[in-house]
Structure formats: C-alpha cells, structure tokens
Amino acid sequence: MIQCKTIDEIREQVTLLKKQGKSVAFVPTMGALHQGHLSLIKLAKAHADEVVVSIYVNPEQFGPNEDFEEYPRQLEDDIQACQEEGCSVVFTPDDEIMYGSDKKYLSIQINELNLHMDGVSRPGFFEGILLVVNKLFNIVDPDFAVFGQKDIQQVQIIRQMVREFNHNVEIVMAPVQRAEDGLALSSRNAYLTKEQRMVAPYLYSALKRVEAKIHDGLVEPEAVLKEEQEELEAKGFKNDYLNVFSFSVMAPVEKLEPGNKYILAGAAYLGKTRLIDNLIIDL
C-alpha cells in the first residue's frame, strides 16, 4: 500500500492504476476508522479492482462550537487498518494541501436539500462537505465512491452534486453498520460514557417501532413520532429531530403514500454526544 500526502502523488498513483486497466473505488473518511468504515472499504473492493482511501479531518464542515479540535485522530492506526483491508493507496493531505493559504473567492451553495434534518442544526455543514468531496473527486478521479447510509442526507446531496457537476463517478451507498445492540457505529460513539452507551441504542429502537407501525398501515405518523420523542426524552436524550422525510429532497412528510420511498431519521444528544440514525422506508 502506498501513502500519498500531496495532490501530485495521489494523481500519479491513480493514473498508473488506470493505465493498467484497473478500476478505482474511493472511500473518503475523516479517520478514526471503525468497523463501519471497514465495511465501506470491503464494499469498495467488491465494486472495483483497486481501493483508494482518504483520511482528512475537514475543518470546513465543523461549526464554531463543534468538536473539530476534539475529533479523534489516530492516523498510524488508520493507515495500518487500510493496509490490513488491502487498500492500494491512502491519501493523507493536510489543510495546506487541501485548501492552501490564498484568499478564497468561490464557494458551493445548496438549495432545499439542506433545509431539514442535519442541515438545520448544523448550518454550513453540507456546504463544507460538498467543498471537500468536490475537491477529492477532482483530485482522485475515481470510478466509484462509497459512502455510508448512516449519513444519508450527505449521500443524497453528494449524488445531486455528481449529477449537476457532471462528475464521472458512481456513488455507492453502504448499509448502516451496527453494534450487536443496534447502535449505529460512529467515531463519535467514543465520546459516550459507559452509562450513556447503555442508553444509546434506544434511538434505533424508536426508529424500528415507528417503521413497524408504518408497515402495519400507519399513514400519518405524527402522533407516533411525538410519543417516541417523549420516550427518548424520558431516557435522557435531548431530541434534535425524529421524523419521516421524502427520499428525494428530504423534506418532512405528513402523510405516507404507497409506491413511494421515505427516510425515517432521528438525531438526538446524549450529554454532549450527538447521535444520528435512519431507516429507508420503501412502500
């Protein structure tokens, strides 16, 4: 496995692979790799001959009061994990490589797709993600790029960027990876205390109960969602959102209709740790 730190290095390595007739799958990460990330790498290997992983904590997607400084960083362990998973190349740029120090005049604007879900509570978050992913796609030029369903709003917005900006890459969404008790795997789970970790799976349980009622014929989920929010608050969660959203533009829906696809998603705090989770409802 080759580690590249500069844009020229990573472009040279990917060009060599493509000259050999190899297809390339790309897994962008912020490091602190866990089994969820490794599942993305495994899925990438199933789609392409070679896998490139980037490890970069992107400052542009962190708000002023978010955990940029505290975000877990374990580069040596991450590189070893990538090597053990059979990655061909790992790209580990720094801020100077990714953004430089010159004044910036251009930015990315998002309309509609970030008005709900995480876009409400994290202003500027998805603009920062699109900025770095757009850069990474231009740098790596992969055939496939793999993202996790846990961040489904991110996946949907990146898919739209690919369509509108004409990136020659196929987006692959990997299923949510969970602990045995159902908690969605996340680097931020490391922030949970032992007591909070015991409570954390209740967010997934709430989603599963709502999902079951929808498949039993519930078409107006507002009352059920409110009950589940109250139950989560009773267990110590501070709710951010819990709702059913359209699959395409991720706007809340009041009534479910057969033949449509929806996102049942929730976000809540346990202490200072923000947990997110979702299920895809296909009627």
47 among known catalytic residues? no
Rounded CA gap, 153 and 159, in Å?
A: 10
Residues 6+ apart with CB under 8 A from 125: 61, 63, 114, 118, 119
Nearest-Å Rg of the Cα atoms of the chain is 19
Q: Which of 34, 37, 116, 215 is catalytic?
A: 37
Phi, psi of 140 (to 5 degrees): -85, -35
Per the CB < 8 A criterion, the answer to whether 123 and 129 are in contact is: no
Residues in the chain: 283
Per the CB < 8 A criterion, the answer to whether 52 and 26 are in contact is: yes
Number of H-type helices and E-type strands within the chain: 10, 9
Helical packing angle, 222-234 and 202-215, nearest 10°: 160
Rounded CA gap, 116 and 120, in Å?
A: 5
Active site residues: 37
